[in-house]
Every structure is written in structure tokens, then in C-alpha cells.
Structure 1
Amino acid sequence: MTRPDPNQVTRVGVVGAGVIGGGWAAHFLGRGYDVVAYDPAPDAGDRLRRIVDGAWPALEDLGLAEGASPDRLRIADSMAEACADVPFVQESGPERLDLKQRLLADLDSVAPADTIIGSSTSGYGMSEMQRACARPERTVVGHPFNPPYLVPLVEVVGGQKTDPEAVTWASAFYTAAGKSVIEMDVELSGFLANRLQEAVWREALHMVANNEATVEQIDQAMTEGPGPRWAFMGPCLTFHLAGGEGGMAHMLDHFGPSLESPWTRLLAPELTTELRDRMVEGCEREADGRSTAELIAERDRKLIAVLRAREAV
């Protein structure tokens, strides 16, 4: 099989059909692709179809590609079947390095020579995952944000043995598939968005652990404060505006000394049983009896509204 132009791909493989893999399958189906999926779990097919069915109303609301249909999903009986005759495979296996290495090596052994293999890993570098691959040059990271069928971002980066052309092709494919692509310059632990998200998460855990804020207050602080701005303007440009006419230069010159103030605690706090229980109880209070399915539906509905509003402005 000769690798096609990224804009001409019509069929993709998905290996690993959990929350992320299922979200990828829903995204690709919504964009009008044929999807062949494989997961070794006995109930994987039924679970995947439930994920797709749950995502479909949001995809319809957002706008389906011509010909898009959940009927274009096929459950494969083997990894080799999922990889046959597809130019691209999205791997979304469990986040364990030894398993990722073995899974990528297995994919590499059964996928056609020209097939690009993208991994949904949220933290491992491709250099460490591709070590057992016979053809590591076609392996790339394609790190999404959950749910992949709604959140636009995907971070793409290769490993030390990845052919730069594979990264370029994967980035073009993801773009054609409707994603917002960051083609990273270097491998970075946790990638870009996770690193930023993790900093906020650690601060939240510290504030709860030290009785400085509740779970509800932290979430309100984000959704009613930085969150609306960050939907369309990142922290750097936001602080550029905080400098007024002088921009970022004035902001750094004026507020720079305060950056050394001990406001933050970027080291993770000890995850004690007490902290764990308080986080769980706080989230249960916020959920207020709503099931996970209800919260997902609410999240998807509101995400679509934000995406539409952002597009409008």
C-alpha cells in the first residue's frame, strides 16, 4: 500500500477502544471516515458502540461531514484486521510504558509498511515507546484532549527514530480530520497542554489540602475567571493585555518581581487518604446527584456552545 495524500484518506484504524480510543472512533466517524476498531476486551465492541452512540448527538449538533454515519464503524476480530488496508492507525492502549512498547511493536509487525501509527499517550515520549519497533520511523505521538470528538487539540511529535516526514504527514492528516494541530519542535514530558493543566491541578490540590479553598470554590474560580478568556486567548496574550499599551514588556517590568513571591507550590502535595477523600467528596457535591452520563452530556452541550461562540468571534 502506498501512503495516500493526507487529504484523501477515507479509512482509519483504531486500536484500543476505551474512553480515548472510543472518542477517537466517534471523531473519525463524525468526519466521514470508515473506522475499523480493535480492542482485546471481550465486551469491547458493545462498549465502543455505546461510546459512539453517546457522542453522536453532540457530533450531530456540531455538524457532521458528508456521509458520516455510526454504521461506518466495524469491529475487527484482530489487531491485524484493524490495521489492514489503512494508511493510519490511532493507538489508545492503557498508559503503561511496558504495555505501550509491546503494543506499538505488535502494531508495527502487522500494519502495512506505509501505515503511520499514532499514539494517544498522554505522557510518554515516542523515543521510549518505539524502542521495540522494527520500523520506528513511522511512529508518532498524536496526543488528544478528552473528549477527542469535541476538543480540537492534538499534539504531534516524533521520537528519535521517527522520520520527520511521518510527523509532517500525521500533522496534515489530523488537520484534514478537523483537529487543531500543534506540531511540537521537541519531545517534552507531558507535552504542552498537559504541563499547563498539571500546574493548575497541583495548585488546586495544595489549596484543598491546606484548607485554603474548597473543590467548588476552585472550580468556580476557574470557570468564572481565567476560563472564559482562555477559550479564545491563551495566558501569554492575556498577560500581554494586562500590560496595557506597554504590552508584555510593561507587564514583566512592572510585575516581574512578584513572580518570585511564594504564591505557588508547584511540587505535588502528598496524596493522603484525607486529601483523596476530600477531593472525591467535593466532586460528588458538585455533581449533585447527576450521573456521569448526564455530566458528559452537559459537558458536550456546553463545549459545543463555547466552540460555536469562539468561531463566531
Structure 2
Amino acid sequence: MSAPRKAALVGGGVIGGGWAARLLLSGVDVALFDPDPQAERKIGEILKNARHAFDRMLPEGRPAEGTLTITGDLAKAVAGADFIQESAPERVELKQSIFAQLDELVGPEVLIASSTSGIKPTDLQAKMKHPERLVVGHPFNPVYLLPLVEIVGGEKTALEAIERARALYSAIGMKPLVVRKEIEAFIADRLMEALWREALWLVKDGIATTEEVDDAIRYGCGLRWAQMGTFQVFQIAGGEAGMRHFMAQFGPCLKWPWTKLMDVPEMTDELVETIAEQCDDQAGGLGFRELERIRDENLVDVMKALEANNWGAGAVLKSYRASLQEKD
């Protein structure tokens, strides 16, 4: 399956808006359902940043932009769509209701994906007449730049739907990662959650501020993670003897009381306020959209640097750029 002819999006928040930008800037027509009267303004601001990022990422020219329709009528949004991406709030009952409605509005051949960051697709399928065409397609913010999308099938998902989703996301410049077994929170969010727990304790216990925690990542391990994952980084850390030596040397440390992985600090008003104030200080007066623009420009530069070595996210960008040139 190539890129969809028309995509329908359910929900226009940060993730839904990111999907709109990714699809539109890949030349796909998009109809977005969102009852929010501010939806048009919010999507417009996301698109402004996304166009800027795409122009820097694809200086030789991006595809002709798709058309965008925003509506508060779900039936109107999904009419004629051959692909639907749901990005509603993370409430099981709400999503089940949406998928039940979609089942009545579109034919069984239409692929439906959910952006859920942790709900199992089997639970989302519970009220569907055609659950075989539902997959999870979990992206990462900003959707229009980060290539990873986790694809997860439920108990009733057809293998064909997973393969269709894989091909569709690849066609719009993404890196599909098919999760082998259905599990809550999938792969990447489980890893980020572990880091988040430790970070909360470091701030709560007064060991570090939010900025110091972020500095520990962005000046150290985060630079490695941008181009190699945890296992490959540790393999190199093992020297000539590789991962076996690393695990023999550092494996016993896993039994030491270094982590509070399963112990989460209580989200008291005091802790929330401390974190919020430190994050505001860390921003140095920059507003939300300004921080988005800086984030996007840094991401583009990192991916273009990796592209020169045909590595990691840069290899995905290189392949996407080549596919666009083939269409010209």
C-alpha cells in the first residue's frame, strides 16, 4: 500500500495535528474531525512550524501539499477516506465508542489506526464489527519529523492490516516498528517511563533540578541514543570483548539499590509546582511555539547529519528523499 489518497483524522490535538502535518506535507489530502472551535487556529500553527521544518529537511523541494478540511462532523470527515488515524484522548470507553461509530460509517476495507500511547488494541476492538482492520499506529511528537511509529495488532487484527499499515507509514517517510507481542505501553513508552520515574525522584529528593536532569541526558547519553540504541551503545562499551564482557562487568550492578523503578513519588501539589516552576525557569522566557521551532530545527540538523552517514533516523530520511525524487 502506498500513501493513502485521502486520510481522515479523528482528533486535532498535538498528536492529531502532527499527523495532519506529516500527511499533508507528504502530499496526502486530509479531512480532520475535531469539534474544538479553535481547531483551525491550532492546526494552522502546527502546520506553520512543520512547513518550516520540512523546507529545511527537504531543501530540494517537498511534495505538493495535500488539501486540508476541518470539520465537526465525523461522517463528513471519513467520507471517501481510505485510511483513518484516531488521536482522541486516552480513555478506553471514548475510543471504543469512536471505533464503533467508524465501523458504521466506512466500509470494512478501510484501514483504521489508533495513536494510543499504551492501550492494548484488543481492548480498543471490543465493540467493533470489523476488528480485523484495526491496528495501533503509535507515533512520537513531533509526528511530522520523528520517523518512529509502533504498529501493534490485537487478538482480532488481520496480518494483512499490519502489513498495510507498515507500507502506508513507510510511504510517508516513517520507520514502522511492528511490536511482536501485544503489551500495554508497547516498547518506547515503557523505556521512557522508566527514565521518567527516576527523573521524578531526582527532582523530589533535591538531587537535581529539571534542567540538570535534562542536561545529564542531552550532553551525554542522549547524543548516543540519537544514533545508537541502548544495546549497541553498551556493546561498544564492552570494548573488544563486546557485550559479553560488558554484561559480566556491569551485570551485578543490577542487583544494587540504584533504582526506584517500581516506586513512584506521590504527585503532591508541592512536587507538581516545583517541577512546573523549574521547567518555566529552564525555558528562559521562551514560549511554547518558540520551543517547538527550536526543537524542530535541532531535530532536522541531527537527522541530516545522520543522513550523511546513512545511519539511524538519517537512513530513513535518505530513503524518503530518494522516494520523493523517484516520483518527480
- Band of TM-score, shorter chain: over 0.9
The 5 Å alignment of 1:275-294 reads: 275-294=271-290
Deviation at 1:191, TM superposition (A): 1.0
Matched residue, 2:63: 66
Per-residue CA deviations over 1:220-277 (Å, capped at 9, x if unaligned) read 0000010011001000000011111111111111211111111111122111222111
Q: Give secondary structure in 2 for the equivalent of 1:7.
A: coil
Matched residue, 1:166: 161
Per-residue CA deviations over 1:122-157 (Å, capped at 9, x if unaligned) read 110111111011111111100000010011110001
Matched residue, 1:273: 269
Q: Does 1:138 align with 2:133?
A: yes
Distance in 2, Cα, partners of 1:44 & 1:264: 42
Opposite residue 166 of structure 2, the aligned amino acid is S
Task: Identify unmatched segments of 5+ residues in structure 1.
Answer: 1-5
Tell which deviates more after alignment, 102-111 or 126-135.
Answer: 102-111
Matched residue, 1:300: 296
Q: Does 1:81 align with 2:96?
A: no
On the 8 A contact 1:118/1:140 being kept in 2, the answer is: yes
Deviation at 1:213, TM superposition (A): 1.3
Distance in 2, Cα, partners of 1:109 & 1:56: 35
Runs of 4+ in 1 over 3 A off after TM superposition: none
Deviation at 1:44, TM superposition (A): 2.1
Distance in 1, Cα, partners of 2:73 & 2:153: 26
Distance in 1, Cα, partners of 2:202 & 2:219: 18
On the 8 A contact 2:3/2:169 being kept in 1, the answer is: no
On the 8 A contact 1:24/1:149 being kept in 2, the answer is: yes
Per-residue CA deviations over 1:51-100 (Å, capped at 9, x if unaligned) read 2223221122222532125xx11223521222122211111001111111
Cα RMSD of the aligned pairs, angstroms, is 1.3
Distance in 2, Cα, partners of 1:188 & 1:65: 36
Matched residue, 2:116: 121
What TM-score results when the alignment is normalised by the length of structure 2? 0.90
Distance in 1, Cα, partners of 2:208 & 2:44: 40
Deviation at 1:8, TM superposition (A): 5.5
Opposite residue 274 of structure 2, the aligned amino acid is R
Matched residue, 1:198: 193
Q: Does 1:309 align with 2:305?
A: yes
Opposite residue 279 of structure 1, the aligned amino acid is I
**Residue in structure 2 matching 1:108, options 99, 103, 110:** 103
Opposite residue 227 of structure 1, the aligned amino acid is G
What TM-score results when the alignment is normalised by the length of structure 1? 0.94
Matched residue, 1:252: 247
**Residue in structure 2 matching 1:210, options 190, 205, 208:** 205
Alpha carbons of structure 1 residues 8 and 91: separation in structure 2 relative to 1, 3 Å: closer
Matched residue, 2:318: none
Distance in 2, Cα, partners of 1:92 & 1:168: 21
Distance in 1, Cα, partners of 2:25 & 2:228: 27
Per-residue CA deviations over 1:176-207 (Å, capped at 9, x if unaligned) read 11111101111111111111111111100011
